[in-house]
């Protein structure tokens, strides 16, 4: 993928020449925007929940209750985001795969992205629903710190964040592969 001012100028020139958009282009722009907005809400919400809200709630005497309430509200947002991602993702995948510009590497990366996304949906809809009724375990300070870090990374919430960041990275790779195919 080419980077730098000459590439940006070439992209701007192409856009300027082909600036007219028809209704289908506007529809796809809206679909892409909704897809990105849902992904950012989910992954950004996970970041906020883990890095800001949870640490603040730990110092509260009502931590369990507040965590449960915030978790339920966030779950509602995530459920909506999942449905938006499913519908818009299907539309975008069909559009790109039928364009004639998506090669084998695009299909492989898209397949990996879909598998990771389905894993995320599974964690939210099945694992976390069961886990939300279980009591919150207290940290065991006798366990070595390294082991505690690896265990924490394996929790469903942290795993969702890791997978979400990977899916966003794969989205950028897909965009680069598609743009490269168009430019060729």
Residue 174: exposure state from Cβ atoms within 10 A (0-12, 13-18, ≥19): buried
Residue 155 placed within a domain: yes
Residue 35 placed within a domain: yes
pLDDT at position 59 is 83
Q: Domain tally for the chain? A: 1
Residue 12 placed within a domain: no
Q: pTM for the full model?
A: 0.72
pLDDT at position 68 is 84
Range of the domain at 37: 23-134+141-183
Q: Is 4 left (phi over 0), alpha (psi -120 to 50) or beta?
A: left
Per-residue DSSP letter, 95: H
Displacement of CA 116 from its chain's centroid (Å): 10
- CA 86, 177, 182, 5 dihedral sign is positive
DSSP string over 130-165: HHTTSPPPPP-TTS-HHHHHHHHHTSHHHHHHHHHH
pLDDT at position 85 is 95
pLDDT at position 150 is 56
pLDDT at position 105 is 94
- Neighbouring CB atoms inside 10 A of 114's CB total 15
Report the alpha-carbon angle 156-57-118, nearest 5: 20
Distance in angstroms (rounded) separating the CA atoms of residues 160 and 119: 9
Residue 152 placed within a domain: yes
Distance in angstroms (rounded) separating the CA atoms of residues 61 and 68: 13
Residue 14 placed within a domain: no
Residue 158 placed within a domain: yes
Residue 2 placed within a domain: no
pLDDT tens, the chain, 184 aa long: 555 555 555 555 555 555 677 888 899 999 999 999 999 999 999 899 888 888 888 888 888 888 888 888 888 999 999 999 999 999 999 999 998 888 899 999 999 999 999 999 998 887 655 555 445 455 556 667 666 555 655 677 788 899 999 999 999 999 999 998 888 7
What letters, b where the CB count within 10 A reaches 16 and e where it falls short, cover 26-60? eebeebeebbeebbebbbebbeebbeebeeebeee
pLDDT at position 65 is 86
pLDDT at position 138 is 55
Distance in angstroms (rounded) separating the CA atoms of residues 5 and 114: 33
Per-residue DSSP letter, 143: S
pLDDT at position 109 is 96
Residue 89 placed within a domain: yes
């Amino acid at each position: 993928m080419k980077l730098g001012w000459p590439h940006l100028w070439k992209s701007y020139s192409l856009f300027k020449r082909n600036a007219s958009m028809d209704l289908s282009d506007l529809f796809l722009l809206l679909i892409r925007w909704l897809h990105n907005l849902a992904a950012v809400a989910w992954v950004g919400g996970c970041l906020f929940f883990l890095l800001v809200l949870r640490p603040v709630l730990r110092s509260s005497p009502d931590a369990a209750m507040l965590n449960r309430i915030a978790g339920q509200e966030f779950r509602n947002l995530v459920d909506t985001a999942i449905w938006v991602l499913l519908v818009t993702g299907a539309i975008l995948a069909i559009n790109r795969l039928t364009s004639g510009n998506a090669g084998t590497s695009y299909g492989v990366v898209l397949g990996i992205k879909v598998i990771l996304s389905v894993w995320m949906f599974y964690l939210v809809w099945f694992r976390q629903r069961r886990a939300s009724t279980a009591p919150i375990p207290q940290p065991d300070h006798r366990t070595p710190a390294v082991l505690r870090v690896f265990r924490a990374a394996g929790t469903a919430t942290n795993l969702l964040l890791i997978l979400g960041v990977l899916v966003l990275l794969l989205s950028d790779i897909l965009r680069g592969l598609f743009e490269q195919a168009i430019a060729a």
